[in-house]
Amino acid sequence: MFDPKDIRKDFPILSRTVHGKPLVYLDNAATSQKPRQVIQTLVDCYELYNANVHRGVHTISVEATERMEEARRKVSRFINAPSTEGVIFVRNTTEAVNLVANSWAMDNVGQGDEIVVSEVEHHSNLVPWQKVAHQKGATLKLLPATEDGRVDLSFLESIITQHTKLVSVVHISNMTGAINPVKEIGRRAHQVGALFMVDGAQSVPHMPIDVCNLDCDFLAFSGHKMLAPPGIGVLFGKVSILEKMEPFLRGGEMVREVWYDHATWNDLPNKFEAGTPNFTDAVALGAAVDYLDGLGMDAVRQHEIDITTYALKAFAELEELDVIGPKEAQDRGGLVTFTAGDIHPHDLGTFLDSEGVAIRTGHHCVMPYHRKLGLVATGRASFYVYNTNEEIDTLIQALKKALAYFAHAS
C-alpha cells in the first residue's frame, strides 16, 4: 500500500521544524528530499569503497566500478532503455541538454536550418539552443502554448517543417505543470526527419517513462529531483546517434588510444564521461531508483494526481488566488503555480516560511513565458511521494493568514 505518512518516516529532514513550526516542504519541483536509504548509500560509498572507477585492479576500485555500473543498469531499466550504452551520467538536465547542443547540433545544424522548442521551456532547454542558432545561422522557432500552458498541437505542421533539424520540448512544465503530448510532437519531428529531445526533469521522477514507447532520440533528467543527490543526472540517447557524435569533453577515460598529435575515442557510454566521474552520486541515484521502484511509479503518479486534485480544490476556494495551468490534475504534474493579486510572490513566500511552509517564488527559470503572461513572478507549491493532504491544509491556512495580513497592511 502506498502510504505517504509511512513513507515520511524514511526522510529525516521532514521531522525538523522551521521558525518553531513543523516543516511543510512543498518545493519538490526545485529539488526533492532524500530518504535514509540514499543517504546511507553515500555513507557506504565513502566508508567502504571510495576509489577511482574504471582504472584500478585493486579490490575497492573494482567494487566501486561494479556499483557504478550496476546503478547505470538500474537507470536503464527504470526508463526502459534498450541498453546501458545509451545511458550517460552527467551532472544534471542542463548539462545533458548542453551535451546534445555542443556534440550533435553544432555539427549537424547549419545556415537556414530550424530548431524548435516551446513557449513554456525552462531556460536550460532554451538558452543552449539560442547559442546554436546564433552561431550556426539557424532559426529558433517556438511552438505556441494553449491558454492552460500546454503545447498547442494545432501548430505542429506549420512550425515543424522540412527545415527542422531538432525539436526539444519539456515533458512536464515546471511552471504551468502541464503535461505536454510529447509522443505526438516526436512523431511529427520524425515525420520531417528531425531528431527529438525530451526534457524529462519533471516527468521521470513522477511517472512511468518508457523511452522506447516515446521514441525520443534524447531524454534528459536530473537525480536531485528524484530522491538522489545533486550533481548527478542522465542523458539517454539512441546508440546509433551517440556513436556518430563527437565527445563533449575531452581528457581521461573517454579515450581509447592517445598519441602526441591525436587520439581515438572510447566506446559508449565512456566516450561522453570524461575524467573521474561522480560515481558516489551515481550509486546513490541507483539507490533512489530502487526506492522509487519499491513504491511503484504508477502508484507515485496516482498519489500526485490525488494530492494535486485535493490542492486544486482547496486553491479554488481562495478567490484572491489565480492558478496557472490545466484545471484537471490528470493533465498536470504535481504542482500548483499561482498569483495573489498585488501581493508580490517573494513577500508571500517569506510569510509562508514564517509558518514553516516552503514553496518556490520567482520566475522558476521560465522568464519569457512569465513575461508573455504579464507576470513578474509567481508562487509554486510542488508535491512528491511524502506529501500529505494535511500539509495542503496547512498551506491553505497559511495562505489565508498571509492574505489577511497583506490586506490589513495595505
Helix-, strand-, coil-residue percentages of the chain, each rounded to 5 = 45, 20, 35
d(CA 269, CA 273): 7
d(CA 114, CA 137): 9
d(CA 165, CA 333): 29
- What SS3 class is residue 254? coil
d(CA 190, CA 174): 26
- What are phi and psi for residue 74, nearest 5 degrees? -65, -45
Beta bridge partners of 141: 116
One-character DSSP codes across 315-331: HHT-TT-EEES-SSGGG
CB neighbours of residue 52 within 10 Å: 15
Which of these is catalytic: 45, 212, 216, 365?
Answer: 365
d(CA 102, CA 107): 8
List the one residue out of 179, 177, 198, 200 whose CA is nearest residue 187: 198
Q: Is 5 exposed, middle or buried (0-12, 13-18, 19+ CB in 10 A)?
A: exposed
Cell output for 407 = 490586506
Is 365 tagged catalytic? yes
Amino acid (1-letter code) at residue 322: D
Query: For residue 371, what are the contacts with CB-CB under 8 A and spacing of at least 6?
Result: none
Contact yes or no for 183/156 (Cβ under 8 A): no
CB neighbours of residue 43 within 10 Å: 12
d(CA 22, CA 390): 12
Contact yes or no for 332/177 (Cβ under 8 A): yes
CB neighbours of residue 367 within 10 Å: 17
Active site (catalytic) residues: 365
